[in-house]
């Protein structure tokens, strides 16, 4: 009898839009902001550049500049990166917004509610237990494995705890790929 799973499936977690920011507004004290479509502001001062990412309070529309680069030498920038800031390149917006360093420096957290989805293969193998599922993160969305698995398999959380073997803690949010085994 083989202990190897019969079937390996792949699930992919990906973002569907930019997450909101939990960021206290200095004007109205609301705690929800959006990067909208994503805009940078670049200010040149001699050979130094400041780059900000602009976000807007969802309650009062006040704009806040999040520091991306502060007084950084122009020559320290990759030309493509610099073009991206001037052109508000959406990929660059996402990569900067999702960079934990930006969040730490500007004291906000990301609110991923409704901003991601789980892609699973349509067909579930019949009579092919156990099944191993490999979860891949296309974007760093923090999810609780327990919740993700319950959603992906249509199981209750109790069933997940009973039927899943997983090498990482099920209750701690992660955005690092992992695998789990579903027992029949």
Q: Pattern 78-107, binding to Zn ion, x per CB under 5 A?
A: ------------------------------
Q: Which is nearer to Zn ion, 20 or 182 (CB)?
A: 20
How far apart are alpha carbons 80 and 30 in whole angstroms?
36
How far apart are alpha carbons 123 and 57 in whole angstroms?
42
How far apart are alpha carbons 143 and 134 in whole angstroms?
15
Q: Which is nearer to Zn ion, 58 or 98 (CB)?
A: 58
Helix (H, G, I), strand (E, B) or coil at 66: strand
Which of positions 119-178 make contact with Zn ion (CB under 5 A)?
Answer: none
Q: Which is nearer to Zn ion, 34 or 59 (CB)?
A: 59
Q: How many residues bind Zn ion (CB under 5 A)?
A: 8
Q: Is residue 28 a contact point for Zn ion (CB under 5 A)?
A: yes
| Beta strand ranges found along 20-173 (DSSP E) | 20-22, 33-45, 48-57, 63-73, 109-111, 116-119, 131-137, 164-166
Determine the interface stretch with Zn ion among 29-37, 123-131, 142-150, 170-178 (rule: CB under 5 A). 29-37
Which of positions 6-25 make contact with Zn ion (CB under 5 A)?
Answer: 25
Of the candidate residues 16, 36, 60, 104, the single one contacting Zn ion (CB under 5 A): 60
29 phi-psi bin (left φ>0, alpha ψ -120 to 50, beta other): left
Give the H or E element holding residue 157: helix 157-163
Of the candidate residues 59, 65, 106, 132, the single one contacting Zn ion (CB under 5 A): 59
Question: No. of H helices and E strands in the chain?
Answer: 5, 10
Of the candidate residues 6, 8, 16, 27, the single one contacting Zn ion (CB under 5 A): 27
| Residues at the contact surface with Zn ion, assessed by CB under 5 A | 25, 27-28, 30, 57, 59-60, 62
């Amino acid at each position: 009898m083989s202990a190897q799973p019969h079937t390996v499936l792949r699930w992919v977690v990906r973002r569907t839009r930019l997450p909101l920011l939990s960021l206290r507004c200095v004007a109205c004290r609301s705690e929800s902001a959006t990067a909208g479509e994503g805009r940078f502001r670049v200010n040149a001062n001699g050979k130094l550049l400041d780059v900000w990412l602009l976000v807007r309070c969802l309650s009062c529309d006040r704009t806040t500049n999040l520091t991306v680069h502060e007084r950084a030498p122009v020559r320290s920038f990759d030309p493509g990166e610099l073009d991206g800031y001037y052109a508000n390149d959406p990929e660059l917006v996402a990569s900067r917004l999702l960079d934990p360093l930006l969040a730490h420096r500007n004291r906000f957290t990301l609110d991923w509610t409704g901003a991601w989805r789980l892609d699973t293969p349509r067909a579930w193998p019949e009579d092919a237990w156990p099944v191993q599922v490999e979860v891949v993160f296309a974007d760093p969305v923090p999810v609780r494995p327990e919740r993700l698995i319950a959603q992906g398999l249509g199981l209750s959380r109790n069933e997940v705890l009973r039927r899943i073997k997983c090498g990482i803690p099920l209750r701690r949010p992660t955005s690092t790929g992992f695998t789990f085994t579903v027992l029949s």
